[in-house]
Every structure is written in C-alpha cells, then in structure tokens.
Amino acid sequence: MKNAFVGRSLCVIEDFSIEERQYLFSKIRELKAAVRAEDLEAQQKFRLEDPNFGIYEVFLEDSTRTKESFRNAAKFHHAKVSELATSSSSFNKGESYADTFNTLTGYSNKIFIVRSKVEGVCAHLAKECAEFANRNELTKVPSFINAGDGRHEHPTQELLDEYTFLEDNDFNYDNLHVALVGDLFHGRTVHSKAKGLSIFKNVTVDLVAPKELGMPDSYLLIMKENGFTVNLYSSIDEYLNSGNVAKQWYFTRPQLERMGEQILKRQDELRASITFKKEFMDRLPEGSKFYHPLPRHKMFPTIPTFLDKTSLNGWERQSINGMYTRICLLGLLGGSIGSDFIPTRPVVKENFQDEEYIFEVEPKNASKTKEYSEGVNPISNGIVIDHIGVGDNPEEIREHMSLIVKVLELNGKGGEWVSQGKEDKYKGIIFRPGDIEFSRKELKRLAAVASGCTLNIIKNKKVVKKYRTTLPPRIYNFDDLACTNENCISNPANGEGVPAMFHKTSDNKYECIYCGKNHSFTEIWNNVKKKN
C-alpha cells in the first residue's frame, strides 16, 4: 500500500489533515509506551534504518529545542544529520534561498529543516527545489519542514503542543478549553493554533494579552471560522476574575527580538500583565496545567521557576514530547511508519478555478442603450467603467479611481467623476475614449481592483460589450502585486524574486499564500503605488 506521508512537506500545520495528525498522535503514544516499557522490539518498528535517509538543518534563527530534538530524532533513526553553517555560508554574499537550497538539493539531501525570520520560505522552497530536481533529473524531490518562520507558523511545535494537550485530556478529542497567555501578536506558536486546534470538536480559546500584544485579527477570524469560542482578556488578573477560567494554560514569551521601539519601551509593564504570580495560585481551577513552548527568559520568566516543582508543570513533559513527535514525523516522511494509515475522508483541496468572477452580460436593447457622455458629448468609441465603490464617500471613491487608473494604466484622454446613482448612493465612473480592448488578464486586474463595477465597451455610440466583475478567488501572475508584510518571502524588499500570490478569504480579504497576511484589495497593489 502506498504510504500517504512519504516525501511530503510540512510548511504550515494544515499540510497535515486532522486525520493525519490523529494518526501521528497515535504513533507518538505507541512510541512513548515502547520507550517507557524499554521494549526495544516495539521501538525498532519506528526506525528508518535507511542509509540514504538524512536531515539537513538550516537554522537562520537561534534554537535549542527544535534543532536538538530533530538532531536526536534523526539519531534515533540512525540517520545522517547535516547542518549548514549559516553564519559563514554564502547567504552572507547575498545568495538567495532558492539558489542555496537548490545547491543542497543537488547533493542528495531529502529533508530540510528550516528556521528563518523570512515567512513562507518553506512553501516557496518546496516548489523551487521540486522544479530544480525535475530539471536536473534527480530521482527524488526534497521535503521541507518549517521549524519556525518569523511570526507566521511553527507547525512541529503545534504538533507536540496538540499531543501534550491530548495527553492531559485522556486522548479525548471532544473538548478543549485553553488559555493562550503572552505575546500573541508576535508568537508563531499561537498563530499555528488558529488552525491547529481544530483537531478538537469543541474549542474555547481564552486570549490573555494586553492590546499591544493581542492576537492579530486575521488569526481571530480563522478561529471564529473554525467555530472556536474566543474570549479576550487584557491581563492574567482580569482573566482570573472572569469566572470561567481554563485548566490548560499555554504561555508564550514576549518576543523582544520582533518588537518595535515603541513596544520595547513598555516591555516591563506589558510583561507584568502576562506573568504568573504567587498570589494567583488560589484562583486557579483544580487540576490546572501550564505549558510553554520555551525558552523562558532567565531574568523575566512569565512562568516563574517556583512553579517548576508543582503539579502545574506541563511544560517539561511538553518539551520532551517534542523529540517523540519529531521521531514519528521523520518516520512518517521517511516511510518507517504510516503505511497502515487509510484516510476515511478525502483531503479537500480548494478548487479556486471553479469560481467565475468576470461575467459578460448582454448590453441592453440597442434602442435603449444608455449613452455615456464624454464631457458634454456622448462617447462614440471607448470604455466606461461604472459603479465604482458604490456607497462609499466621494473621497474614498476618488482614491479608488486613482488606484484603478494606475493598476490598469488608463493614461491618456478621458476623465473620472463621482455621481449620485440609485438611492442617492455615490459611485465612481471612469471613461476613456479610443479603440480600447480588454484581454482576459486585464479583465482579471479590473476585477481585482474594482470588484462590483461594470465595464462597457462602446463602439459607434453603442455599448457593444458589457462585463460585470466580482473579486477573483486568486490573484497572481502580475509583477506589480506585493505582499505588504516586510518579512514575507514574496515581499520585493527581500530580493528573493518570489511573485506574490493571494487567495480570497471568506470576508473578501486577500491572504498571501506564503505568510498568511490579509490585505484589502487595494493593499495588494502596493507595488504599483510605489512605482508611481
């Protein structure tokens, strides 16, 4: 039977379906039992024992747990461990991620473990290196494991966190009530939870953080879409007064290295609101457990060390679970385990192509065709983009039209105006005289920048073609698109040459496929504004 896991990458937590994660957790549980029972035969069933299997660690940010647990996990498998000395590598000569990893791919490396402050790097590399392998007729394409990318995700941490929550919930997937406490703005481990925790059926998440360190809206939206009940509190003290306190608390450290000057100045005050104190002990529910992805700061730990020897301590076992999780993950990707996994539900891949967003509509009866004017005269030949920003205020509509003109390069003769249409709502109209045609690609740009508008093609004073647009499900393949997250692999400032690509979210935002940042349809054309 084909092993569903072999050769896969784990760039974000959702790269493994809920069923696949549940399977992984059953294997971690088995392995831990085998180790505890010192059952060498049972442990051996997990081992790869493949002389061609190895991991290549490329860490461009510091790490102890992730790096060393992968190294020890690889040793369990008797596998080769390589490490790129990133501080003395050709990264320092301005080499791109793609060139660096293509080079290493050519040396028969199959699993890369990558940590970087650049977000979305693994998704980009998985694609790049697969193409490199194919054009160089290599027998296998490499897998990528995201060991933490900026503020984006830390999927293997998410796996071990989910496993540890389960362990403390008698392996019951029905309910999870967890408090996420700390720097929810910068912390990638809590961002992975927005999607990751959906392995549980009923999820309540209490977010405990001052406003400055609060969970970004995009992750809040995902949590709500996943059916989680979400409650917000600005400090531990306020949370403990709420009357509905979770037994499971997940702390994260203030990520000083990712904070701006203004927030750094207030770090003591912000840290105080998310640091557990002795006097809080009596207000915790019976059987509470604390977790932390670690490291914690030796001078300013949010879980103070006096708690280490109490029953609250779940973080030490959580850290140990990291190695078992990574042994099993490598076992799955290498194929020592996983061949008995049979999904009961097909993995649903979003099919963005199905949704149409440009509609050609019949121009009205020729005798009644609306006449658009060019100043005081009717337009003989040209285009009119109508119904722009219906209902917005005139200032917004003018800005919107200016963006449309830039994006579609509607330079030359013509004009823009704001008029009052139905129900006295304002709308924008752009007209351009001349023999102007719109290709499919230009129509797509129009839909992306002016959803809900109509485009009228006028010949001999008649509307001969009319299109209506809605927001496209995906936007890509345009040089002037840009993700506005300066840490994203596709942000032009990073110089990696990765074209931006967005997909539409349920609330009509555009999510970067690399870093997950949400944008309004005007923001994705950021590069256009810069060029002008």
- Choose one: 23-31, 59-67, 73-81, 268-276; the region binding ligand CP (CB under 6 A): 59-67
CA angle 107-113-117, nearest 5°? 115
Q: Does residue number 193 form part of the binding site for ligand CP (CB under 6 A)? A: no
Q: Which position among 9, 116, 143, 157 is part of the footprint of ligand CP (CB under 6 A)?
A: 157
Q: How far is CA 293 from CA 162, 218, 344, in A?
A: 12, 22, 32
Q: Does residue number 146 form part of the binding site for ligand CP (CB under 6 A)? A: no
Q: Does residue number 155 form part of the binding site for ligand CP (CB under 6 A)? A: no
At its nearest, how many Å lie between ligand CP and the CB of residue 65? 4
CA pair distance 434, 381, nearest whole angstrom: 5
- Please list, residue by residue across 15-26, b when 16 or more beta carbons sit within 10 angstroms of its beta carbon and e when fewer do: bbbebbbbbbbe
CA pair distance 76, 331, nearest whole angstrom: 10
One-letter amino acid at 228 equals F
Name which of 87 and 520 has its Cβ closer to ligand CP. Answer: 87
**Strand 426-433 with 415-420, pairing:** antiparallel
CA pair distance 377, 371, nearest whole angstrom: 10
Q: Which position among 106, 227, 287, 295 is part of the footprint of ligand CP (CB under 6 A)?
A: 295
CA pair distance 231, 447, nearest whole angstrom: 37
Q: Does residue number 329 form part of the binding site for ligand CP (CB under 6 A)? A: no
Whether the CB-CB separation of 152 and 516 falls below 8 Å is answered with: yes
At its nearest, how many Å lie between ligand CP and the CB of residue 63? 3
Q: Listing from the earlier edge strand, what are the strands of the sheet with 358-361?
A: 358-361, 462-469, 454-459, 382-388, 426-433, 415-420
Q: Does residue number 303 form part of the binding site for ligand CP (CB under 6 A)? A: no
- Choose one: 123-131, 288-296, 307-315, 389-397; the region binding ligand CP (CB under 6 A): 288-296
Q: Which position among 66, 252, 456, 469 is part of the footprint of ligand CP (CB under 6 A)?
A: 66
3-state secondary structure of 415: strand
How does DSSP assign 471-527, residue by residue? Answer: --SEEES-TT-----TTBTTSGGG---PPPEEEE-TTS-EEETTT--EE-TTGGGHH
Q: Does residue number 65 form part of the binding site for ligand CP (CB under 6 A)? A: yes
At its nearest, how many Å lie between ligand CP and the CB of residue 56? 17
One-letter amino acid at 385 equals I
Q: Which position among 259, 294, 418, 430 is part of the footprint of ligand CP (CB under 6 A)?
A: 294
* Helix 188-196 with 217-225: angle, nearest 10 deg: 20
- Choose one: 198-206, 289-297, 339-347, 399-407; the region binding ligand CP (CB under 6 A): 289-297
One-letter amino acid at 73 equals A
Q: Does residue number 314 form part of the binding site for ligand CP (CB under 6 A)? A: no
Q: Does residue number 64 form part of the binding site for ligand CP (CB under 6 A)? A: yes
At its nearest, how many Å lie between ligand CP and the CB of residue 73? 13
Name which of 147 and 405 has its Cβ closer to ligand CP. Answer: 147
Q: Which position among 17, 22, 43, 63 is part of the footprint of ligand CP (CB under 6 A)?
A: 63
At its nearest, how many Å lie between ligand CP and the CB of residue 204? 24
Q: How many residues bind ligand CP (CB under 6 A)?
A: 10
Q: Does residue number 297 form part of the binding site for ligand CP (CB under 6 A)? A: no
- Choose one: 61-69, 282-290, 306-314, 392-400; the region binding ligand CP (CB under 6 A): 61-69
Give me Rg for the CA atoms of the chain.
27
- Choose one: 63-71, 172-180, 457-465, 500-508; the region binding ligand CP (CB under 6 A): 63-71
Q: Does residue number 293 form part of the binding site for ligand CP (CB under 6 A)? A: yes
In this structure, what DSSP letter does residue 141 have?
P
- Choose one: 1-9, 62-70, 411-419, 423-431; the region binding ligand CP (CB under 6 A): 62-70
At its nearest, how many Å lie between ligand CP and the CB of residue 66? 3
Q: Does residue number 151 form part of the binding site for ligand CP (CB under 6 A)? A: no
Note the residues at the interface with ligand CP (CB under 6 A): 63-67, 148, 157, 293-295
